């Protein structure tokens, strides 16, 4: 246990930010002071309260001491008047006033006072401090910026002790550190800004202490070098450590080259680290020393240093300083990249032993497995923002991994049932392009060390592409694509979940370790095709919403309204072009966009230009909302939204996926028509990429469908027969309620020879077709709604089918 009060010698850099301590505290330049002076002059009661006599304040006016460009020589009274500050209680306005004059005063103010006349304020602060101290008018007083707490949560007593400092404020040194920063990859702007701010204020850093771990200061052995000061160059040591310590960290190991610590003199180190150093006087064999130098030259510079963001203002900045100090002329040895990460939250809260919100690495691995843990950590966050490890997410992640492996096994077991032949349907091509695009994106994310993003594009979205493919590929997934997917998924996920991926790699029958496999090569990406698939998904989504809205009960005042029957049909209208008024508006926007380098003028300008177009007269109310919508889409989706025509054939995309759309909406039929064939209302509501849909219920006559075959699990059911139905459409309808029917071509639809008595006779085992006639796929069903009768037009004959049909499945 540490004692309650820990005594520390505290680093002076806390103090340097406070500056000289010389600030103006006079009514001419300090808003607080002029406000107070005015108050006390104005209010007699206030003077009495503090026992101040009139003659002490009333005759006095502020005396100019500093001239600030734009503020004159009495900046504080001026700013207080400008901001209409009434009294010293106007705290917020006073803070604003201070902000204004202090900064400008410091950087631009010119002294008016004798002895310093004409000099800049920022140049005289130090001399004035010195003068005041010498005259005994001031004394140096230092205090930490804020209360200092030790890591054991004890309050620290701070003392300024005699010390050695590293002068990070040295102009030339600082300038070189800045140069190193310029070529440093920081992966995000925030880290760079943090570095810049640090280099800006960094001054002397106390580098010695009296106790603890560390190396003695060579020229003043009573001091130890404080660890933040010399540890920032240790990467250079790493490059040769294995040849000196033999892989043993505690210093007890034998050097593989037989080198003793005392042989590592300054000259020997210089030889290793500096190409231009002469061969030193030493009894270490030449080839050994050259080996050490080669090793250093091979590994240096440091490609990337990964560390917590809290180390940017100290450790990582010193790291830059120390490298440029060691190799001032050899920027090939300077740090190449720093990746700073945030802290890790657990379940959205700070980790803390005292609250129990705590998880050690080994507990986490026991709980979530190595790969589950790695997945959750990758997903926890990428930037300097704090990452968040959420246990429920980790659980969900494991489940995803499990589902994925199970799916791989299922595909391997069922590979012979997957489709073969050419893989060139719409959805095959979309899936292929989406895989390629996923590989490229994931590659970029890994390169930028954005693991959450890599996980998103390389696992979550990659899987979503597969799920979409599975859903849309009515004709079945293609075997080659499925196995290509599994292989690529395994490779993309391998950096994050290596164990699991090694396992699926084995399932695929690959010989050799996944660790030796190459990154997958992406094929071509058809962006237009991918967008047409997005269009399909959006349209399907939109149709589902519209269907839901259609089925809501109509709003009626009586409140007894019934919801409409589920529609059976839908007509989707697609537009080849925009309605004329939209076409005009869009053309105008497109013209501006092109001539203005991608910037659209103000809405006011657009409105007046559009107002001048005669064809828009009737539509003025709708034009500006349309423009607003286009502007919004432009921001989201880029200049494509200004195109007057779609880049793909909307109708063809929907036609290719008609079965999927019909099934997923549980409709009988979807027709796709051009809006130009529809009435004006539809024409107005429809534009390229935004189809318009109309649902309707077609009436039907209910007929029983019976299955006389024994022991096959098929059942009797009722279906609605509609005007114009065919054998095929009825079988399709049957298959929707009878999920046992997979292959529609195996279904035989029959009618009774005697529609009245037929259904009432007992079926004869083994002679299920007796007394029945096949319904050919050429015949057409006609219905009579009033009498609820169905007839069949077959080869020019019209026959009554009664109320029952028969189906057989072979």
Ligand X SMILES: *[C@@H]1O[C@H](CO)[C@@H](O)[C@H](O)[C@H]1NC(C)=O
What residues make contact with ligand X under the rule CB under 6 A? 64, 72-73, 112, 728, 776-777
Residues in contact with 458: Cβ distance below 8 Å, sequence separation at least 6, in sequence order: 438, 439, 441, 442, 445, 446, 492, 493
**Closest distance of CB 585 from ligand X, Å:** 47
CB 250 within 8 A of CB 257: no
Long-range Cβ pairs for the range 613-618 (8 Å, 24+): 613/584, 613/588, 615/580, 615/581, 615/584, 616/581, 616/584, 616/585, 618/581
The two three-digit tokens of residue 207, written as one number = 């580098």
The two three-digit tokens of residue 20, written as one number = 């000289």
**Closest distance of CB 779 from ligand X, Å:** 10
Nearer to ligand X, 108 or 185 (CB): 108
Nearer to ligand X, 728 or 769 (CB): 728
The two three-digit tokens of residue 190, written as one number = 């925030």
**Closest distance of CB 424 from ligand X, Å:** 23
Rounded to 5°, angle at Cα 175 from 169 and 177:
85
Residue 652, helix vs strand vs coil: helix
Taking the CA atoms of 79, 85, 87 and 88 in sequence, report the sign of the dihedral they define: negative
Largest CA distance in the chain: 129
The secondary element (H helix, E strand) that includes residue 464 is: helix 461-472
Nearer to ligand X, 663 or 776 (CB): 776
Residue 789, helix vs strand vs coil: strand
The secondary element (H helix, E strand) that includes residue 584 is: helix 580-595
CA 98 – CA 412 distance, rounded (Å): 73
Give the closest residue to 465 by CA, choosing from 489, 445, 444. Answer: 489
The two three-digit tokens of residue 385, written as one number = 């923002």
**Closest distance of CB 419 from ligand X, Å:** 20
**Closest distance of CB 92 from ligand X, Å:** 29
- 3-state SS string over 11-47? CCHHHHCCCCCCCCCCCCCCHHHHHHHHHHHHCHHHH
For residue 747, the 8-state DSSP code is: E
Residue 210, helix vs strand vs coil: coil
Residue found under tokens 């003077």? 47
**Closest distance of CB 729 from ligand X, Å:** 11
**Closest distance of CB 810 from ligand X, Å:** 14
Q: How many residues does the chain have?
A: 810
**Closest distance of CB 775 from ligand X, Å:** 11
Nearer to ligand X, 82 or 467 (CB): 82
Rounded to 5°, angle at Cα 414 from 412 and 420:
95
First to last CA, the chain: 84
Residue 550, helix vs strand vs coil: helix
**Closest distance of CB 82 from ligand X, Å:** 16
Nearer to ligand X, 417 or 776 (CB): 776
Nearer to ligand X, 112 or 449 (CB): 112
Nearer to ligand X, 400 or 748 (CB): 748
**Closest distance of CB 684 from ligand X, Å:** 39
Question: Could you tell me where the beta strands, DSSP code E, fall in 428-467?
Answer: none
Give the closest residue to 708 by CA, choosing from 775, 777, 767. Answer: 767
CA distances (Å), origin 58, targets 35, 311, 588? 14, 55, 69
Nearer to ligand X, 116 or 318 (CB): 116
Residue 54, helix vs strand vs coil: helix
Taking the CA atoms of 153, 159, 161 and 166 in sequence, report the sign of the dihedral they define: positive
**Closest distance of CB 670 from ligand X, Å:** 19
> How many other C-beta atoms can be found within 10 angstroms of the C-beta atom of residue 432?
24
- 3-state SS string over 320-339? HHHHHHHCCCCHHHCCCEEE
Nearer to ligand X, 73 or 704 (CB): 73
Nearer to ligand X, 456 or 732 (CB): 732
User: Number of C-alpha atoms within 13 angstroms, CB side, residue 328?
Assistant: 6
**Closest distance of CB 310 from ligand X, Å:** 48
**Closest distance of CB 112 from ligand X, Å:** 5
CB 782 within 8 A of CB 736: no
**Closest distance of CB 118 from ligand X, Å:** 12
Nearer to ligand X, 64 or 253 (CB): 64
**Closest distance of CB 672 from ligand X, Å:** 21
**Closest distance of CB 749 from ligand X, Å:** 11
Q: How far is CA 342 from the centre of its chain?
A: 15
Alpha helices in 68-202 (DSSP H): 75-82, 91-108, 121-134, 171-182, 189-201
Nearer to ligand X, 71 or 692 (CB): 71
**Closest distance of CB 51 from ligand X, Å:** 33
What are the DSSP calls for 442-485, one per residue? Answer: HHHHHHTT-HHHHHIIIIIHHHHHHHHHHHH-TT--BHHHHHHH
């Amino acid at each position: 246990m540490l004692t309650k009060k820990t005594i520390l010698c505290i680093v002076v850099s806390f103090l340097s930010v406070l500056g000289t301590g010389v600030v103006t505290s006079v009514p001419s330049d300090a808003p607080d002071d002029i406000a107070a002076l005015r108050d006390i002059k104005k209010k007699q009661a206030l003077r009495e309260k503090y026992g101040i006599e009139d003659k002490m304040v009333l005759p006095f006016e502020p005396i100019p001491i500093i001239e600030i460009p734009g503020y004159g020589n009495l900046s504080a009274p001026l700013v207080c008047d400008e901001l209409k500050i009434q009294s010293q209680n106007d705290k917020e306005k006073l803070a604003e006033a201070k902000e204004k004059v202090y900064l400008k005063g410091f950087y631009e103010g010119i002294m008016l006072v004798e002895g310093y006349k004409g000099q800049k304020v920022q140049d005289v602060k130090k001399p004035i401090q010195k003068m005041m101290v010498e005259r005994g008018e001031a004394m140096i007083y230092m205090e930490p910026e804020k209360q200092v707490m030790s890591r054991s949560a004890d309050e620290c007593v701070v003392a300024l002790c005699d010390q050695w400092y590293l002068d990070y404020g040295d102009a030339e040194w600082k300038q070189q550190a800045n140069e190193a920063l310029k070529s440093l990859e920081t992966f995000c702007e925030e880290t760079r800004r943090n570095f810049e701010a640090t280099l800006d204020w960094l001054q002397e850093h106390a580098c010695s202490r009296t106790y603890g771990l560390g190396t003695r200061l060579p020229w003043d052995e009573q001091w130890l070098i404080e660890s933040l000061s010399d540890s920032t160059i240790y990467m250079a040591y790493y490059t040769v450590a294995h040849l000196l310590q033999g892989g043993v960290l505690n210093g007890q190991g034998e050097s593989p080259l037989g080198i003793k610590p005392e042989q590592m003199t300054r000259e020997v180190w210089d030889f290793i680290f500096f190409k231009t150093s002469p061969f030193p006087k030493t009894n270490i064999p030449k080839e050994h020393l050259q080996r050490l130098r080669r090793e250093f030259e091979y590994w240096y510079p440091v490609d990337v240093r990964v560390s917590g963001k809290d180390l940017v203002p100290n450790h990582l900045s010193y790291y830059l300083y120390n490298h440029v100090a060691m190799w001032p002329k050899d920027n090939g040895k300077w740090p190449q990249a720093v990746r700073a990460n945030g802290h890790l939250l657990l379940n959205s809260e700070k980790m803390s032993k005292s609250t129990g919100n705590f998880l050690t690495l080994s507990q986490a691995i026991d709980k979530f497995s190595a790969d589950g843990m790695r997945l959750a950590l990758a997903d926890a966050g990428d930037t300097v923002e704090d990452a968040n490890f959420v246990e429920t997410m980790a659980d969900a992640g494991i489940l995803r991994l499990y589902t994925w492996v199970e799916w791989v096994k299922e595909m391997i077991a069922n590979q012979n049932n997957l489709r073969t032949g050419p893989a060139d349907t719409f959805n095959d091509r979309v899936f292929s392009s989406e895989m390629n695009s996923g590989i490229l994106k994931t590659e970029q994310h890994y390169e930028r060390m954005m693991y959450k993003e890599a996980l998103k594009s390389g696992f979550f979205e990659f899987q979503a592409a597969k799920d979409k493919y599975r859903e849309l590929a009515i004709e079945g997934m293609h075997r080659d694509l499925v196995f290509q997917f599994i292989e690529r998924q395994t490779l993309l996920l391998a950096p994050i979940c290596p164990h699991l991926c090694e396992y699926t790699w084995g399932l695929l029958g690959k010989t050799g370790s996944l660790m030796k496999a190459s990154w997958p090569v992406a094929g071509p990406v058809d962006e237009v095709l991918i967008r047409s698939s997005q269009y399909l998904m959006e349209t399907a989504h939109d149709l589902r919403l519209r269907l839901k809205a259609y089925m809501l009960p109509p709003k009626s005042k009586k409140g007894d309204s019934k919801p409409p029957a589920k529609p059976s049909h839908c007509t989707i209208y697609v537009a080849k072009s925009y309605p004329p008024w939209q076409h005009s508006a869009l053309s105008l926007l497109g013209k501006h966009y092109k001539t203005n380098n991608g910037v659209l003028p103000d809405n006011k300008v657009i409105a007046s230009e559009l107002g001048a177009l005669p064809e828009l007269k009737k539509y003025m109310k709708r034009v500006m909302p349309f423009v607003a919508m286009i502007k919004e889409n432009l921001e989201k989706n880029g200049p494509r939204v200004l195109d007057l025509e779609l880049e793909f054939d909307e109708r063809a995309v929907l036609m290719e996926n008609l079965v999927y759309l019909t099934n997923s909406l549980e409709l009988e039929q979807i027709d796709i028509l051009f809006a130009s064939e529809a009435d004006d209302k539809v024409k107005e509501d429809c534009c390229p990429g935004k189809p318009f849909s109309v649902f309707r219920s077609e009436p039907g006559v209910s007929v029983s469908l019976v299955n006389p075959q024994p022991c096959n699990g098929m059942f009797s059911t009722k279906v609605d027969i509609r005007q114009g139905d065919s054998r095929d459409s009825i079988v399709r309808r049957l298959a929707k309620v009878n999920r046992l029917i997979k292959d529609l071509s195996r279904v035989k639809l029959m009618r009774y020879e005697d529609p009245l008595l037929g259904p009432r006779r007992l079926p004869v085992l083994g002679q299920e077709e007796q007394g029945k006639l096949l319904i050919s796929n050429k015949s057409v069903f006609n219905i009579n709604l009033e009498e609820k009768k169905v007839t069949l037009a077959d080869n020019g004959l019209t026959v009554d089918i009664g109320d029952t049909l028969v189906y057989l499945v072979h």
